[in-house]
Structure 1
């Protein structure tokens, strides 16, 4: 069943109320998939209807640190290169020791160098374990220019990939010191992947990926192992194709949420300017994860009648 206009509007009001209560910045973007009608101008910071799809956002075009949510665009750039015949998912990569002292998450940094993986497996580890050694080796093949070109082609105007390996930064670093995106951009990317998997020609054209590769991307995102943000307060086995991230000042997550009738909505959430300690005594990073889980739960309650 498609989410009704009133349910969508209630979800938006609940999201804003939860964000108003936090002592840090939260940006989000919510897209109903598919639906009809309009949510009404009073429901959130921005609510509208484009081609029958309900959309709303809070700080939707504000630049946030992309952190590891950037890896969705890296994956899609790699898959576009596969479709063009420039790369092959069966290509073997040797995970060497070049980047081991410059990464902060993942499994491979803890294993002996010299492990041989297929590009397919490296992409999978990059997404489901946020493995930064995998990411570095995938980007060696794809290149940052190709990732930025993919984002430009997809209309992600507020997204910029500056670093293959994110440098160590102070918590008060300028947001544009590293890779940046916006809640609306990441939601658009996930929406395009979803439409592309359903063989919608415009989405396939913008991403440069055929339906089978868009479906593959959703499948990889559904195998995500980090489940302490958006999935945390949802029923066991709720299907979400998502990728989370955390940086020196921020926590984020974004995904496509499924029901029994297919994809229902896209939700992306970015928090920024996190304090070291919150008023309730929780560390800022821990509190932000709980906050994102509450936002996800609020949407799920309204969008899964």
Structure 2
């Protein structure tokens, strides 16, 4: 089958590396810089409003750890391979004891070896519950390097899936694994991916909408969605490890006010706690609330 013909990803040119804010909006800078500057760790942020284009970016080219946010690029790579005919969503996968890994999700704790599930269901578990075992099943089905090949094609040079989850022995770049863990990205890379999904220009409209459906089903509301009204729809994926907390996606605004693309990356965090008030999670939550309120109230 021929390779996927990817439509161009629209949006602003990537920002130059800088520790300062790059923004079209002094108002957004005034809202967000005080939050960012208080954080005890490294931060990369992109905010962009549709359709106005009003934006904010901070250290947006800086390579950062993804934790489970790397599952979003993997999700896109999987659907690109499905579109090419290289794999089917109906492919059946059998869970073995050796497949089980710790961390987030439900397969390891609640299901027995011998369970069979479709690739479609493994993808849903990977995104909705951030299931680590399901993620490795997806990687095994589509190939470890498939994500990195796609990211290179998209110009997302800082985005790399380094290994299977909790399986560093599978690493395709041990130095990068040591530096970033499971994966790496930049806020600008995430902006490019999310803009393509928002515009329905990743592969084609139907593929983009299938991917967004998974992201809308993500059940994590402890980061950017935490302080938003319960009825606000957010298509996103986040990630958490001891010293890194991440979240990226699209917040749908009410009353025809458009949507907010967001990415908040933190790493080298001093707060490595696993409590509800973890500083990295709370930073994402405060940024999510600040930009939501700003654009909802904006005339």
Q: For the superposition of Structure 1 and Structure 2, which TM-score range results when normalised by the shorter chain?
A: 0.7 to 0.9
Structure 2 counterpart of 1:270, from 238, 243, 265: 265
Pair 1:218-2:212 in alignment: yes
Residues 197-212 of structure 1 aligned to structure 2 (within 5 Å) = 203-204=201-202, 209-212=203-206
Pair 1:30-2:47 in alignment: yes
Question: After alignment, is 283-292 or 130-139 more displaced?
Answer: 283-292
User: In 1, Cα distance between the equivalents of 2:46 and 2:192?
Assistant: 9
SS state at 2:199 partner: helix
User: In 1, Cα distance between the equivalents of 2:205 and 2:244?
Assistant: 33
SS state at 2:73 partner: helix
Pair 1:186-2:181 in alignment: no
**1:104 is matched with which residue?**
103
Structure 2: tracts of 5 or more residues without a match: 1-22, 169-176
Per the normalisation by structure 1, the TM-score is 0.80
Q: RMSD between aligned alpha carbons?
A: 2.3
CA offsets, 1:114-171, max 9 Å, x none?
2111111110110010001110011111112210111112211111211122458xxx
Pair 1:175-2:179 in alignment: yes
User: In 1, Cα distance between the equivalents of 2:244 and 2:62?
Assistant: 14
Structure 1 residues 250 and 155, CA, compared in 2 at 3 Å: closer, same or farther?
same
User: In 2, Cα distance between the equivalents of 1:211 and 1:284?
Assistant: 37
Structure 1 residues 142 and 238, CA, compared in 2 at 3 Å: closer, same or farther?
same
Q: CA deviation at 1:248?
A: 3.3
Residues 15-26 of structure 1 aligned to structure 2 (within 5 Å) = 15-26=32-43
Contact 1:63 1:175 in 2 (8 A): no
**1:39 is matched with which residue?**
none
Structure 1 residues 125 and 303, CA, compared in 2 at 3 Å: closer, same or farther?
same
Structure 1 counterpart of 2:244, from 225, 246, 250: 250
Per the normalisation by structure 2, the TM-score is 0.82
User: In 2, Cα distance between the equivalents of 1:154 and 1:13?
Assistant: 32
User: In 1, Cα distance between the equivalents of 2:257 and 2:132?
Assistant: 31
Structure 1 residues 285 and 70, CA, compared in 2 at 3 Å: closer, same or farther?
farther
Q: CA deviation at 1:191?
A: 1.2
**1:48 is matched with which residue?**
none
Q: CA deviation at 1:263?
A: 4.8
**2:283 is matched with which residue?**
291
CA offsets, 1:51-90, max 9 Å, x none?
xx33321111111111111111111111111111111112
User: In 2, Cα distance between the equivalents of 1:187 and 1:263?
Assistant: 16
Contact 2:65 2:183 in 1 (8 A): yes
Q: How many residues align?
A: 265
Structure 1: tracts of 5 or more residues without a match: 1-5, 36-52, 197-202
User: In 2, Cα distance between the equivalents of 1:91 and 1:144?
Assistant: 17
User: In 2, Cα distance between the equivalents of 1:285 and 1:93?
Assistant: 38
User: In 1, Cα distance between the equivalents of 2:178 and 2:141?
Assistant: 29
Contact 1:256 1:263 in 2 (8 A): no
Pair 1:14-2:31 in alignment: yes
**2:234 is matched with which residue?**
240
User: In 2, Cα distance between the equivalents of 1:187 and 1:71?
Assistant: 15
User: In 2, Cα distance between the equivalents of 1:151 and 1:166?
Assistant: 22
Runs of 4+, deviation exceeding 6 Å: 282-285
